[in-house]
Homo-oligomer: A and B are copies of this chain.
Amino acid sequence: MKDLLGREEALKVDEALDLLLHQDIKQPEIESIFIEGVYGRVLSEDIISPENLPGFNRSTMDGYAVNSADTFGASDTMPVYLEVKGQVLMGEDPGISMQRGETVRIPTGGMLPGGADSVVMFEYTNIIDDKMVEIMKTVSPNENVILADEDVKKGEVVLKRGQRLRPQDIGALAGLGILEVKVFSRPVVAIIGTGDEVVPPDKPLSAGEVRDINSYNLAGLILALNAVPVKKGIIKDDFDRLLSVVEESVTESDMVLITGGSSVGTKDYTSRVIDKLGSPGVLFHGIAMKPGKPLIGGIVKGVPVFGLPGHPAAITVSFETFVEPLVMKMSGEKHCPHIPLRRTFKALFSRNLSSSIGREEHVRVSVEKRNGALWAVPILGKSGLVSTLVKADGIVIVPMNKSGVYEGEEVEVRLFK
């Protein structure tokens, strides 16, 4: 189906994303790392506990270790009396086995002696003398005790392949004595700038030149995903040069982003380079999205290669919509689809804004509080202006079947990272 100007109709966002996510894509590699450096990394193996945690019956209170049967019926007015056989020291085997009618003083975290199945808190005891304590409370079996395998059982799957490790997960690894784990390597994403007018920011500018904004924006977007950006520099409009840099990048990296190429020449070069380097080559060229319409997506030897539009706002929107889900997939993370990956919240739209039916519009907004309500205020301005992104807090997406947003309508704001 062609549009009025004879061009291929732009793909819908979800169609294009689906197309990308169902390609054969290079599998992430696996590396072994120490738990000190594992925060935010994705496990490539299930972690099975080699032992019970805590490994011994442990008191959760300061008090007296007892056989709970000895406390049956004990109360303020009807205490029972137990013989004190000694005390448990922290971090040591008590080396005592209690008989009925006996008790041992125990600190929080101490190891229960043999014969004890529960702990009475100090608050419910009275010391009579060196050898005798009064117990004023009935305790149940296992009361104030963590059992030897209550936290983690030997052989239990504690953490699963595909989990992104959080602080507590690393704590659990340390608790089990697991010092090194296998994780997926972080995706390496090559950034290639193009455009005869684009110069590195440390070079003096001549008339008609602009400094490279996009590579820096992209490097940050990649870092925010816990991936590794590699800047390949800025390539002037030259087919062979672009071909060789993309070819090199496809070998070295897990994904390649070609930015800019706002000139007619480079636009053609990007899709020709992708097609020339391998099948399936270009998957789509043009998306029913604003900004970001001229996006090119393709695969070369299992490596996704994107031709990103040159405008800063189009870069950010294309990245968040297409590159991010693909980087997430390559990270090996099995992400739970109903748990949000980003900070989002509801706000009221601050004005009427029309949007074209048939394309998904990503509106930059700042967030303001007025009369106790949050308002999403659209930052209008050309997508070529980096300042509109700088002034925005996030994005409101107007779906392709909606003709706009009304003032006061509730919208969801996705904050930038």
Question: Is residue A151 contacting chain B, with contact meaning CB distance below 8 A?
Answer: yes
Decide if A228 is an interface residue (CB 8 Å cutoff). no
* Closest beta carbon of chain B to A237's beta carbon, Å: 7
Cβ < 8 Å to B, chain A residues 125-147: 146
Taking the closest CB of chain B, its distance from the CB of A402, in whole angstroms, is 22
- State whether A207 and B111 are in contact (beta carbons under 8 Å apart), knowing that A146-B382, A385-B150 are contacts in the complex: yes
Please pick, from B169, B195, B224, B384, the residue contacting A90 in the complex, using a CB distance under 8 A: B195
A277 near B: Cβ within 8 Å?
no
Query: Chain B's nearest CB lies how many Å from the CB of A159?
Result: 7
Contact in complex: B167, A220 (CB < 8 Å): yes
A175 engages B262 (CB within 8 Å): no
Question: Does the CB pair B198–A264 fall under 8 Å?
Answer: no
Contacts of A316 in B (CB 8 A): 167-168
Chain B residues whose CB sits within 8 angstroms of the CB of A332 once the complex forms: none
Does A214 touch B at the CB level, under 8 Å?
yes
Q: Which of A165, A173, A218, A386 has the most CB of B within 10 A?
A: A386
Contact among B217, B263, B344 for A168, CB-based, below 8 A: B217
Cα separation A151 to B389 with both chains bound (whole Å): 11
- The answer for the CA separation of A17 and B344 in the assembled complex, in Å, is 26
Interface string of A149-178 (1 = CB under 8 A from B): 011100000110000011111111111111
Residue-wise, chain A 209-252 has the 8 Å CB interface mask toward B (1 for contact) of: 11111111111110110000000000001000000000000000
**A214 with B171: CB separation less than 8 A:** yes
Chain B residues near A415: list those with CB within 8 A.
339-340
Indicate if the CB atoms of A91 and B195 lie closer than 8 Å. yes
Distance A55 CA – B197 CA, assembled complex (angstroms)? 13
So how many copies of this chain end up in the complex? Answer: 2
Residues of B with C-beta under 8 A to A264: 62, 107-108
- Does B208 contact A111, Cβ atoms closer than 8 Å? yes
Give the chain B neighbours of A367 by CB distance below 8 A.
Answer: 336, 338-339
Contact flag A93-B220 (CB < 8 Å), given A168-B316, A262-B108, A342-B343: no
Is the Cβ of B92 less than 8 Å from the Cβ of A207? yes
> CA of A395 to CA of B142 in the docked complex: distance in angstroms?
27
CB distance from A346 to the nearest CB of B (A): 9
A56 at the interface (CB under 8 A from B): yes
Asked if A374 lies at the interface with its beta carbon under 8 angstroms from chain B, I say: yes
Complex contact A151–B197 (CB within 8 A)? no
Residues in B with CB closer than 8 Å to A201 are 35, 173-175, 177-179
User: Contact check: which of B93, B168, B210, B416 meets A175 at CB < 8 Å?
Assistant: B210
Bound Cα distance from A374 to B171, whole angstroms: 28
Report A344 CB to chain B, min CB distance, Å. Answer: 8
Chain B min CB distance to A379 (Å): 12
Q: Which residue of B lies closest to A178 (CB)?
A: B201
- When distances are taken between beta carbons in the complex, the residues of chain B under 8 Å from A336 are 367, 393
- 21 residue pairs bridging A and B, Cβ less than 8 Å apart: A35-B201, A39-B219, A40-B224, A53-B387, A54-B210, A60-B384, A91-B195, A91-B208, A93-B206, A146-B384, A159-B390, A167-B219, A168-B390, A170-B220, A171-B386, A172-B213, A172-B389, A174-B216, A175-B201, A175-B211, A179-B201
Q: Which 5 A-B pairs have the closest CB atoms?
A: A167-B220, A171-B217, A91-B197, A93-B207, A168-B389
